[in-house]
Structure 1
Amino acid sequence: MNKILVSGYYGFGNAGDEAILMAIVESLKKLDNNISIKALSANPKETKRMHGIDAVHRTNPFLVIKAIAEADLVLSGGGGLLQDVTSSRSIPYYLLIVYLAKKMGKRVMFYANGVGPVNRKLNKRLIAAVGNTVDLITVRDDNSRDQLMSLGVKNPPIYVTADPAFALKPVDDETGFGILRWKGINFDEGSLKIGVSVRPWNLGKNRQVIAETCDYLIKNHDATIVFLPMQFPQDYSESLEIMGLMKGKARVIDEPLGPRELLWISGQMDLLCGMRLHALIFGAIMGVPLLGLAYDPKVENFLKRVEQPSAGSPLDLNVVDLCHLFEEAIGRRTESRSKLLAKKDELEGLAYENARLALKLLEGGYEAGSR
């Protein structure tokens, strides 16, 4: 039985990254059930429970080296691992895993990576040096490919695919409605349901802008506002801050849910406004019209790919403009939904392409050339 090791931002309670790992595992297993998958995780026990795979702690040197040594293929990704905006340690850590794997003679693949921004000169050199040693690269958007090439990564084939999460399926309706009943969330028939996903990002006074916009939607559209935290407790605390500034009543998912559950709840919305990339990806999977708050270029890149509007940086918001964008998004819901559903099969197929290429590499080859 071939063994695959997956390195990524797992075990931190981030629903987007857990969706990535869940989709990687399921995509690989769907194509070849005769493989063993292990992950590096900040919480191995929870990773084992959630994903049904083995896991070791990502900061235990002995266990990490042992896991690499036992693997036939090491996957780095997916997600935005190669960037130095949210952490200066991400790039050195993830590239060290790749470096060790190559030193041990392992096949290595960057799996559906998002790349950039990369600001530090050392990190740029590290990406070029280590990136050119890997066997195969898939990235989740054109910008990530361009970033790698501009940094000097030119040796391995680079394929533009899609985020692995596009292969994910939601829980069934019975389970989903059961969660809403358990959370005490009832949607009034005919009410406009708007999901809001925020994250800590020095929002400051812009929390008030979001709060006033939510109040506007409640007053003028009889909207039901539901905050959808993607990471606990960070996003939940941020949601509560904004809710505390509102005059109207909003709902919030008040404890962590799995990726499938959050995916289903996202699908119940009529419109989803999000900062988190995977909140927007969840909406796109379910055909829910989007309005993005682009705190990071990856959000803007994704919105362009699925032809959905952006409100720009969350640090540059004002109430009048944001309300106007919501009015436009509400008016274009039918058109936006059609665009998303038209792209769904393509993006799901590209998500599976990551797994297909990984297994081809595991078997010892791939089609040369980049695309």
Structure 2
Amino acid sequence: MRAVLCGYYGMGNGGDEALLATLLQMLPAGVTPVVLSGNPVETAQRYGVETVPRKALGPVIRALRGAEVLIWGGGSLLQDATSLQNPIYYGGLMVLAQWLGLKTIAWGQGIGPLSHPLSQGLGRYALGHCNAVSVRDNGSAAWLARWHVPGMQAPDPVWALDAAPVDGLWDLPAPRVAVALRPHPWLTESRLDQFTQALASFQKATQTCLLLVPFQPIKDLPIAEYIQPRLPGPSRIYALDNPHQLKGLFRGVEMTLGMRLHALIMAAAEGCRCFGLSYDPKVSHLMTDLDLPGFDLNPQAVSHRWPDTPEQMTQAWLEVYANGDPLSPEQISSRVDRALMHQDLLRDVLLP
């Protein structure tokens, strides 16, 4: 059986690469994946899979005609916060596969925000005609309920991703704290400067080694490079392209300050204390689910408001560093076990 895998793959985003790695890990034996990728050569080399350029219409249609299944593979594919192109591309691809007679699976999805009637209608139609749907949070499940689309909710599949060791990590001074920021209009220059001042004070107080982790280097690396020279103590930038190592990095970390959703998921899964910096409902959903402390970058936020001063920010981090608790082994095991429900769904549809 050939399955076309569609997601934000080959675009240099560590979270989406982690979803692809998890999906490949969970696919039943005997299923041959064909991955739609923004960088087909790199994806083929990294995972040893057949690839097709994601925006090349002719090759994509040929791939669909030669397959039995399309798997819409994880992440925030159905949202129009960044662009209306997202739901049109992914929804259109799903509908095309359904018209061609393929089985279709929406796997590990994060749905929303969806503000445009076109994206809502396309999402409802595409998901309503899937053979199976799984979502990763309460907000996504609420969209399914609103649309009367049957589906399963389980923790993000990346909870179950196998972690791999990172060369040289254990040679760095301990304790270590990871920082994973991304650009966003709400992370203004003044806020980034405030964050950097607070981080420098935090490092002085804790004598920690700071690991700056750009999950999507083309976007996140400039932020890490802005922060690093302003830190008073040891630091290192880790731009890892292997998702298994990216998750393994957090095994050697005491605490994570995370704006990237999958930084928080990976850190929590590896037993790390976490502090969330929410810019999107998906991060807020995770913070609520895990009862994580954090700040909300939204200027209209009612709770978890962004602090007025660097000192308040530093104090909040010091409190978590000194007194915060990571998830217990039982809590982690429970989420990993439930994340494997996404694997069970694949088996149920692909191996009837």
TM-score if structure 1 supplies the norm length?
0.88
The equivalent of 2:143 in structure 1 is 147
Does residue 257 of structure 2 align to residue 273 of structure 1?
yes
**Deviation at 1:130?**
2.1
After superposition, give the CA deviation of every residue in 1:263-313 in whole Å (9 maximum; x if it has no partner): 122221110001000111110110101000001110111122122212222
How many aligned positions are there? 343
Separation in 1, partners of 2:307, 2:2: 48
The equivalent of 2:220 in structure 1 is 235
Separation in 2, partners of 1:113, 1:132: 14
Give the aligned residue type for 2:287: L
Matches within 5 A, 1:1-371: 2-28=1-27, 32-150=28-146, 152=147, 154-155=148-149, 157-172=150-165, 176=166, 178-180=167-169, 186-188=171-173, 191-202=174-185, 203=187, 204-244=189-229, 246-253=230-237, 255-313=239-297, 316-318=306-308, 319-333=310-324, 336-337=325-326, 339-364=327-352
Separation in 2, partners of 1:145, 1:343: 21
Structure 1, 88-97 or 316-325: larger mean CA deviation: 316-325
Separation in 1, partners of 2:271, 2:288: 16
Separation in 1, partners of 2:216, 2:250: 15
After superposition, give the CA deviation of every residue in 1:151-202 in whole Å (9 maximum; x if it has no partner): x2x24x2100121211212214xxx2x3448xxxx433xx432110001113
Checking the alignment, whether the CA contact within 8 Å between 2:77 and 2:111 is kept in structure 1 is yes
**Deviation at 1:207?**
0.8
Separation in 2, partners of 1:227, 1:363: 42
After superposition, give the CA deviation of every residue in 1:101-133 in whole Å (9 maximum; x if it has no partner): 110111111101001111112111211222211
**1:317–1:45 CA distance, 2 compared to 1 (3 A):** farther
Percent identity over paired residues: 26
Checking the alignment, whether the CA contact within 8 Å between 1:227 and 1:250 is kept in structure 2 is no
> Structure 1 runs of 4+ off > 4 angstroms?
none
Checking the alignment, whether the CA contact within 8 Å between 1:8 and 1:76 is kept in structure 2 is yes
Give the aligned residue type for 1:238: I
After superposition, give the CA deviation of every residue in 1:75-117 in whole Å (9 maximum; x if it has no partner): 1120011111122211110011100111011111110100111
- Which ranges of structure 1 fall in alignment gaps of 5 or more residues? 365-371
**Deviation at 1:54?**
1.0
**1:325–1:342 CA distance, 2 compared to 1 (3 A):** farther
Separation in 2, partners of 1:55, 1:19: 17
RMSD in angstroms over aligned alpha carbons?
A: 1.8
Separation in 2, partners of 1:50, 1:162: 26
Checking the alignment, whether the CA contact within 8 Å between 1:78 and 1:112 is kept in structure 2 is yes
Separation in 2, partners of 1:87, 1:321: 35
**1:242–1:88 CA distance, 2 compared to 1 (3 A):** farther
SS of aligned partner of 1:311: strand
Separation in 2, partners of 1:179, 1:56: 35
Separation in 2, partners of 1:234, 1:162: 27
**Deviation at 1:51?**
1.6
Checking the alignment, whether the CA contact within 8 Å between 2:144 and 2:151 is kept in structure 1 is no
Separation in 1, partners of 2:307, 2:7: 32
TM-score if structure 2 supplies the norm length?
0.92
The equivalent of 2:303 in structure 1 is none
